[in-house]
Amino acid sequence: MESSQTTVLASSNAIVNGKLTPATIIISPSTGKIINVYTELLPENSFPAGTVCKDYSPKVLMPGLVDAHVHLNEPGWRTEWEGFETGTRAAAFGGVTTVVDMPLNAIPPTTTVENLNLKVNAARGQCWVDVGFYGGVIPGNDGDLKDLVREGVRGFKCFLIDSGVEEFPAVSTEDIAKAMTALKDEDTLLMFHAEKLPPISLSVGDAVLHGDAPLAPAGPLESYSTFLASRPPAFETYALAEIVNSAPVAPNLPLHIVHLSAVQCLPMLKEAQEKGVKITAETCFHYLALAAEDIKDGDTRHKCCPPIREKANSDGLWDALKDGLITTVVSDHSPCTPNLKLVGGGDFFQAWGGISTVGLGLSVLWTEGKKRGVDLVQISKWTSEETARQVGLLGRKGKIAVGYDADICIFDPETSFKVTTSEMHFKNKITPYEDKVLDGIVCETWLRGKQIYSKDVGFDEAAGPLGALLLEKRQQENETVAITTTLSDSSEDLKTSSLNAAGTVLEVLPN
Ligand SMILES: [Zn+2]
């Protein structure tokens, strides 16, 4: 059933064209797309009777977040860890309107078209927000990659180090070259979990002369510092060097580093970009907002790989974001059950590595970012526009602009809340943010023109999960549709925006 009413969302504060501005957003009832954006507040009587008009001033209208890195784990036995229904519900709570699911942890992994179809069928009818899928590169599946591109995966992920799950083995240099060869003329993205064990002489230095085993934990296993020392920055720099060295195999294929943690990678990343290597990087909410110095021994809720590093390291990551060297921030939401996370004090080496964050990220980033002079326009760029670009959805997602899906987050930056289990909609209520007070709260989430979540009334259970599965080809922004209009624009613009000479909207036709 299609709603027949045009919807108008407005606020004195909206993020449009990379600026905070007053805006009035007109949404088609039939397509759920934005059909006009006025960079001013239009009075309700500008619109025909029956139009649904909502003015949220002074709350901020932002594009819905595109979380380009989540693990939803379904289908298979790890659905106990997370699933499409709970993971996407948690996303909607936090103003996230699109998530892209990683190819591992579900069984089977997304390494063939057959396996992708199993995942797509498992997702149908369960998703509260729109969901895209990545394919996986593992040893020996280079023959499956082009077919996965045709079927609509938004990119590929591989590991240069043990992934933690046996169905998704790490790739060798030769495997990377085969994957790059297969994908070199495709419109896709090849992403790397960039940690790799350096050769023994590099990894342990002089210690090898004394017979110490490389990487053997040197300290109590429940101590965070022991764990941190076991995943040094050298793992990340060594992996990055390998990726950059492989890049000439497929010079046109965009490469991407997932969850970059170590600042030691940044000079190498910069140099590669300056030399024309098509390589980008993301970091995660937890590397920006949490610090090794604050992690108590045994608090395995903080375990992830690469690890959360020292405060000085997170300062460097913030600087790299501000400079545009790192372009995206994602959750890497990767939960498990409490017993596997060893909640309540445990061995960092035995606990599952992964942090649950989906739906908390915007407030996490705002809480930390505003202390660092970062504004919501920057945050929106890193979590919506650039993540949409990363997964080939810019043009449809990631901006408030004409022709885009009306995926809108209504954010109140002036309110705070304490994270309790009621704010955790993911399946297993475990997160290092528990009991932390976060600034800024998502008041409403709109997906393709429909309100799917509101802080006051909760989720629209009557409508149920309305999320679509995003299996269309990757696209990039068509600049010609990304226009906005003001009443003072030229007569040509006035004609196209259905205004009469008095500046009143005569009719807003659903297209
Ligand atoms: Zn991940």
pLDDT tens by residue, 23-37? 999 999 999 999 999
Report if residue 87 sits inside a domain. yes
510, pLDDT greater than 80: no
Q: Can you give the CATH number for the domain in which 380 is found?
A: 3.20.20.140
d(CA 12, CA 40): 8
The mean pLDDT of 139-154, rounded to a whole number, is: 98
> Could you list which residues have their CB under 5 Å from ion ligand 1?
332
- For ligand 1, the distance from its centroid to the CA atom of residue 331, given in whole angstroms, is 8
Q: Say if CB 382 and CB 288 are below 8 A apart.
A: no
Question: What is the pLDDT, as a whole number, of residue 340?
Answer: 92
Report if residue 50 sits inside a domain. no
- For ligand 1, the distance from its centroid to the CA atom of residue 101, given in whole angstroms, is 9
Q: Say if CB 420 and CB 401 are below 8 A apart.
A: no
Report if residue 501 sits inside a domain. no
- Cα distances (angstroms) measured from residue 353 to each of 67, 80, 101, 337, 341: 19, 16, 17, 11, 8
Q: Say if CB 331 and CB 357 are below 8 A apart.
A: yes
Question: What is the pLDDT, as a whole number, of residue 203?
Answer: 52
- Burial (Cβ within 10 Å: 0-12, 13-18, ≥19) of residue 335: buried
The mean pLDDT of 130-135, rounded to a whole number, is: 98
Structure tokens at 493: 């613009």
- For ligand 1, the distance from its centroid to the CA atom of residue 103, given in whole angstroms, is 9
330 or 343, which is more confident: 330
Q: Domain span at residue 237?
A: 64-399+414-438
Task: Please give the helix or strand (H or E) that residue 131 lies within, else none.
Answer: strand 130-133
Report if residue 365 sits inside a domain. yes
- For ligand 1, the distance from its centroid to the CA atom of residue 347, given in whole angstroms, is 21
209, pLDDT greater than 60: no
In this structure, of 68-82, 224-238, 400-414, 492-506, the range with the lowest mean pLDDT score is 492-506
Report if residue 348 sits inside a domain. yes
Question: What is the pLDDT, as a whole number, of residue 5?
Answer: 87
Question: What is the pLDDT, as a whole number, of residue 332?
Answer: 97
Question: pLDDT, tens digit, for every residue of 334-362?
Answer: 999 999 999 877 899 999 999 999 999 99
Total domains, the chain: 1
Question: What is the pLDDT, as a whole number, of residue 200?
Answer: 66
Report if residue 405 sits inside a domain. no
- Give SS3 for 289: helix
- At position 486, the amino acid (one-letter code) is T
Count of CA atoms in the C-beta half-sphere (13 A) of 312: 1
- Give SS3 for 447: strand
Is the Cα dihedral 151, 156, 159, 162 positive or negative?
Answer: negative
Report if residue 248 sits inside a domain. yes
The mean pLDDT of 106-123, rounded to a whole number, is: 98
- For ligand 1, the distance from its centroid to the CA atom of residue 5, given in whole angstroms, is 40
494, pLDDT greater than 50: no
Structure tokens at 471: 């299996």
The mean pLDDT of 377-384, rounded to a whole number, is: 98
Report if residue 449 sits inside a domain. no
Q: Say if CB 430 and CB 358 are below 8 A apart.
A: no
The mean pLDDT of 232-244, rounded to a whole number, is: 96
**Percent of the chain, pLDDT > 90?**
86
486 or 136, which is more confident: 136
Q: Residue with structure tokens 């240069």?
A: 160
498, pLDDT greater than 60: no
- For ligand 1, the distance from its centroid to the CA atom of residue 102, given in whole angstroms, is 7
- For ligand 1, the distance from its centroid to the CA atom of residue 184, given in whole angstroms, is 24
376, pLDDT greater than 90: yes
- Give SS3 for 206: helix
Q: Say if CB 255 and CB 269 are below 8 A apart.
A: no
- Burial (Cβ within 10 Å: 0-12, 13-18, ≥19) of residue 425: buried
- For ligand 1, the distance from its centroid to the CA atom of residue 333, given in whole angstroms, is 7
- For ligand 1, the distance from its centroid to the CA atom of residue 193, given in whole angstroms, is 8
* Secondary structure, 3-state, 124-182: CCCCCCEEEECEECCCCCHHHHHHHHHCCCCCEEEECCCCCCCCCCCCCHHHHHHHHHH
206 or 168, which is more confident: 168
Question: What is the pLDDT, as a whole number, of residue 476?
Answer: 82
The mean pLDDT of 127-149, rounded to a whole number, is: 98
Question: pLDDT, tens digit, for every residue of 53-83?
Answer: 999 999 999 999 999 999 999 999 999 999 9
- For ligand 1, the distance from its centroid to the CA atom of residue 135, given in whole angstroms, is 13
